[in-house]
Amino acid sequence: MKKNHIILYVLALSSTLLGCNSTKTTTAETDYTQYVNPFIGAADNGHTFPGACTPFGMIQTSPVTGAIGWRYCAEYVYSDSLIWGFTQTHLNGTGCMDLGDILVMPVTGKRTRNWDAYRSHFDKEKEAATPGYYTVELNEPQVRAELTASTHVALHRYTYHKTDSASILIDLQHGPSWNEKQYHSQVQSCDVSWEDSQTLTGHVRNSVWVSQDYFFVMKFNRPVSDSIYLPLAETEKGKRIIATFSLNPEDVLMMKVALSTTSIEGAKRNMNAEISGWNFEEVKKAAHDNWNKYLSRIEVTGSDEEKTNFYTGFYHALIQPNQISDVDGMYRNAADSIVKAETGTFYSTFSLWDTYRAAHPFYTLMVPERVDGFVSSLVEQSEVQGFLPIWGLWGKENYCMIANHGVSVVAEAYRKGFRGFDAERAFQAIKKTQTIPHKLKSDWNNYMQYGYLPTDLTEAESVSSTLESVYDDYAAAEMAKLMGKTEEAVYFGRRTSFYKNLFDKETLFMRPRNADGTWKSPFNPSDVTHSESNGGDYTEGNAWQYTWHVQHDVPGLIALFGGEKPFLNKLDSLFSVKLETKQADVTGLIGQYAHGNEPSHHIAYLYALAGRPERTQELIREIFDTQYRPVPDGLCGNDDCGQMSAWYMFSAMGFYPVNPVSGEYVFGAPQMPKFVLHLADGKTFTVISEGLSKEHKYVDSITLNGKPYTKNHITHEDILKGGTLVYKMK
């Protein structure tokens, strides 16, 4: 980031009052948001957005610099110089398109009927962001734009430096899309009404990733003096409106936009409950304080650069799952019925193939008050659609990715003692998910008949789908054991060894296999495949990466190789054999290892489980040094709803949940001198690394509460007890 950009960023922060933390008085004196840079990951493949939101909120109001093609999944690329406007919802770090609802853009000058003529250049030096706040100066209309938000409501403040036909473009056709055709056809219906001179309401139904209904209330602090509807193309149904206001130079126009999945009345209730007035600074401060309250749960000692990486990761991890229920608990479910969330809050945006690995384990540790609600939401959705969400968005299922890792999230929560959800209902959801075939990638009949998904009977991703489903079987078996369900524990327990059926002892790879038991040929373990682009038997990866996808039974995997020595030799090759690929999702390469994609995330820790912890420690340092930097292009891949960030935070503290359902965190090596975790019950868990430096990256010994600790992992329960974990570095 440029120096003067940093200055503006700091100035934006200085105008916001400090937040508070109820768990520890001293942390209230620190503004942890100063270490969050929302522009990190907002370059080409990080797919993050810099706009304003609150933790787990429905609203993410943020600038749009593009909307067509994979590059614009978050609608913003840092290097762009043209802003289209500001939309009210966004996905954080995903690889697919959706949301981007209700584009608005302040405009001045002669009005034109060409909606795309209102885009504006802007200077990077006049753009800044901090948690809960975004601002930019738009050159052509000469308007300063400022955005903040509550859970369900976006609040915009526009200062018009000139007032020649001061207007707002309201574009309800807009939405990030894969191509031009979809961009102009994704809206199925759009109804709007001016309820009075300051209030526009409406309902839009569109479809990109899921079929989405949203209702909105848009209210201005000044009356509209005139409005016109722009012409639509043949396939367009989303209205475009130019609303004009009578303003003097330097006058401020404010706008509130409340959303609901249920009704216009629901959106009104959300607005009245959260932002009833027009005090922008008050809303901005509330958003800031909310973020600071969460960020202060972990006190980090380290350099400013390290803190920026860590707290920005913390920030990104808490953007989702999103609360899509109204303030009264009502929401639109997967069957398009309006129902009340059983816990009073319904969450969606579950990128489970990514987040079950580290983001959800992070929530169980640092945001435990949300976990029961997450699980209840998953179970509620499963009872409507017949299976636990694969990738839940806006209360619907988009069927993206493979397996059903909601199973892992539910079982992990139960294993860690969460009991604020109906465990029996949750297990029945797991059982149904893992035994009854449902649309796409759940052919349990072939899975049970062959003990794997045969490549000649499976359209794509046969190897990855088998291996990932085996982990969910393990999760189901573990929950069944804890609940005393012996029959189910035995049934799913037998399936946990199915991974062995795809291991080719000649090539030492997990390899696609035909229904007759023969191996698929020809076979190149370096071939990267992706079901949506080139088919194949692996999911956004290859045999090199997926051979290690046995998170629940590393000793069993080692045995397949013939012992630790051949296992480690093969693992060494993973990090040394060069991979040549142009696949967008397979990035952050160290040899064949791809840190930019989630199936690789646990692999570095396998050395620690095979007797070579020092190699894990070396690799963690290398990944930190090469794959995470506090700049816009500092992420080596999509943040994927906080998973990339969660890997960083766990690994910075020196441990990682290789097998989330086990409740164990495998030791790596800490990357910062000290962490103080403020736990839910007022206890603290302190992590100290003595002698840590660039040269001293290896762990010599570990003590827990002053006593020598020789295990290669620490349990969730040990952390929750509070205490002090000390790494002595060498």
Q: What are phi and psi of 503, to 5 degrees?
A: -90, 120
Query: How confident is the model over 547-556, as a mean pLDDT?
Result: 98
Neighbours of 583 (CB within 10 A): 17
Instruction: Indicate the residue type of 650.
Output: F
Preceding omega of 670 cis (within 30 degrees of 0): no
Residue 113 predicted with pLDDT over 90: no
Residue 15 predicted with pLDDT over 90: no
What pLDDT score was predicted for residue 121?
97
What pLDDT score was predicted for residue 348?
98
Of the candidates 369, 380, 381, 378, the one whose C-alpha atom is nearest the C-alpha of residue 405 is 378
Query: How confident is the model over 293-311, as a mean pLDDT?
Result: 98
Query: How confident is the model over 248-277, as a mean pLDDT?
Result: 98
- The overall average pLDDT reported for the chain is 94
What pLDDT score was predicted for residue 19?
33
Tokens describing residue 400? 């993206």
% of the chain residues with pLDDT over 90: 91
Residue 540 predicted with pLDDT over 80: yes
Q: Among 327-341, 408-422, 471-485, 583-597, name the one with the lowest average pLDDT.
A: 583-597
Residue 538 predicted with pLDDT over 70: yes
Residue 1 predicted with pLDDT over 50: no
What pLDDT score was predicted for residue 651?
98
Cβ contact 341:331 at 8 Å: yes
Cβ contact 382:432 at 8 Å: yes
How many alpha carbons lie under 13 Å from residue 315 in its C-beta half-sphere?
32
pTM for the whole structure:
0.95
What pLDDT score was predicted for residue 532?
65
Residue 44 predicted with pLDDT over 80: no
What pLDDT score was predicted for residue 584?
66
What pLDDT score was predicted for residue 575?
97
Residue 645 predicted with pLDDT over 70: yes
Which of helix, strand or coil describes residue 529?
A: strand
Cα separation, 291 vs 531, in Å, equals 38
What pLDDT score was predicted for residue 89?
98
Tokens describing residue 644? 């990339």
Cα separation, 187 vs 360, in Å, equals 33
* pLDDT tens, position by position, 140-155: 999 999 999 999 999 9
Cβ contact 140:121 at 8 Å: yes
Task: Place 533 in a pLDDT band, splitting at 50, 70 and 90.
Answer: low
The residue whose two tokens read 């020809």 is 522
Query: How confident is the model over 619-642, as a mean pLDDT?
Result: 95
Tokens describing residue 55? 């933790």
Q: Among 27-31, 95-99, 196-200, name the one with the lowest average pLDDT.
A: 27-31
Domains of the chain: 35-296 (2.70.98.10), 336-422 (1.20.1050.60)
What pLDDT score was predicted for residue 346?
98
Cα separation, 723 vs 686, in Å, equals 6
* pLDDT tens, position by position, 434-492: 999 987 778 999 999 999 999 999 999 999 999 999 999 999 999 999 999 999 999 99
Query: How confident is the model over 357-364, as a mean pLDDT?
Result: 98
Q: What is the DSSP string of 435-496?
A: HS--SSS--HHHHHHHSS--GGGSSS-HHHHHHHHHHHHHHHHHHHHHTT-HHHHHHHHHHT
* pLDDT tens, position by position, 158-181: 999 988 889 999 999 999 999 999
